């Protein structure tokens, strides 16, 4: 899904640089998130808060992707996106 979204939002020009930056961000997020989940479990004794947080992040992610495509359409209409 990542490569398709990258191409759809940013085009194929400089694809490798854009996608590599996104992939590094995804890797760093995974490295930070897993210990974070364990930390929340140690404090609360339950993964419930982690699951609520993940659900909120999924909804936020979907909204931000929709906003990104809306912004792309706005740039296309203004002639600023090729």
Which of the 8 DSSP states describes residue 24? H
Each residue of 10-58: pLDDT tens digit? 888 889 999 999 999 999 999 999 999 999 999 999 999 999 999 999 9
23-30 long-range contacts, CB within 8 A, separation 24+:
26/2
Determine the Cα angle at 50 with ends 65 and 46, to 5°: 165
Instruction: Give the integer Cα–Cα distance in Å for 81 and 50.
Output: 38
CB atoms within 10 A of CB 81: 14
Q: Which residue has the higher pLDDT, 6 or 60?
A: 60
pTM more than 0.85: no
Please say whether the dihedral angle defined by the alpha carbons of residues 32, 38, 42 and 48, taken in this order, is positive or negative. Answer: positive
């Amino acid at each position: 899904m990542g490569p398709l979204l990258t191409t759809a939002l940013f085009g194929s020009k400089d694809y490798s640089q854009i996608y590599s930056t996104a992939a590094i961000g995804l890797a760093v997020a995974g490295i930070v998130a897993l210990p974070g989940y364990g930390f929340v479990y140690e404090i609360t004794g339950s993964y419930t808060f982690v699951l609520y947080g993940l659900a909120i992040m999924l909804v936020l992610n979907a909204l931000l992707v929709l906003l990104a495509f809306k912004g792309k359409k706005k740039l296309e209409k203004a002639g600023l996106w090729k």
